[in-house]
Amino acid sequence: MANFNAHLTGGVVAGITAAAGALALGWVKPLPALAVAGVGFVAALAPDVDHDHGRPIRYVFGLASLLIPSATLYRVAPLTETPQLAVGSWVLMALAVAFPVRWAFTKMTVHRGIFHSVPATLIFGCLMFLVAARREAAIGMQAAVGVAGALGYFAHLLLDELWAVDFNGRKVRVKKSFGTAIQLWGVSAPSSLLAYGLLLALAPLVYQNLQGGELTEQTYDRWVLRDQAPESMRPITRVLRRKIHRLPDAPEGKLSPDAVRSGPQTPKRPGR
């Protein structure tokens, strides 16, 4: 397989290529193009996150322990109601990602498993596309980030396959590791099925966004936070709303929009 420095170089090339292409197509402006290049660079290290003792897993989980809590606080307003709550939530999430989540991840993954595959490349690109928008569509930036993520990820796999062919001898020799990076099915059937299931869940969200439909968070609002879900789903959404906002049960099991916005209220006692 390619070494760490080769993957770094591949990430730089992939990131610059994606950023240049996005600029040429008018998807992004020069300053955001730097972020696109950074996504391509990080994506080239992502496949080796399944190596328990490699540098990529340390870098990826170290970065994730900073970004995931920050992104969560940015998106979940109730966690920032007080400075103490915000700081406490951030610290707890950072510690969770850095230790128990990383430990569980290493126990559930094997090197050169499903993370080195075509579906993993597409999943990473879809995730980057969806993460690049927050309640307001930015199709150009989303497309640039999604392509950069998929391109950087695939560059890693391609380098691993190239390094599996030995050109130094009189004859070209193919190593045993050839074909284990760019694959359609991993060594574990459950993980492969999970990957394809995740891809089937993400692809419609990307397509919906590209067609000018609502964003993922808007779908969540419509189905969970408001009374706009189909009638058959409303009992479920009411339960979720009460769990999230700790709202009291309303008469006839129906919550008014004012009750959702204002939070828990003490019911008035009827007059005598």
Considering the entire predicted model, what is its pTM?
0.65
pLDDT of residue 180: 58
pLDDT of residue 259: 46
Which DSSP category does 135 fall into?
S
88 in Cβ contact with 68 (< 8 Å):
no
136 CB contacts (<8 Å, ≥6 apart)?
A: 215
pLDDT of residue 239: 62
CB atoms closer than 10 angstroms to residue 246: 10
pLDDT of residue 261: 43
Distance CA 19, CA 38 (A): 9
Alpha carbons within 13 angstroms on the beta-carbon side of residue 101 total: 16
Distance CA 39, CA 37 (A): 5
pLDDT of residue 57: 75
Rg, the chain, Cα only: 23
Distance CA 1, CA 144 (A): 28
Strand, coil or helix: 229: coil
Residue whose pair of structure tokens reads 């492969």 in the numeric block: 192
pLDDT of residue 27: 92
174 φ/ψ angles, rounded to the nearest 5 degrees: -95, 125
pLDDT of residue 59: 76
SS3 content of the chain, % helix, strand, coil (to 5): 70, 0, 30
191 in Cβ contact with 50 (< 8 Å):
no
Ranges under pLDDT 70 in the chain: 1-2, 50-54, 56, 75, 108-113, 134-137, 163-181, 186-187, 213-214, 216-217, 220-272
pLDDT of residue 164: 61
* Amino acid residing at 158: L
243 CB contacts (<8 Å, ≥6 apart)?
A: none
pLDDT of residue 248: 52
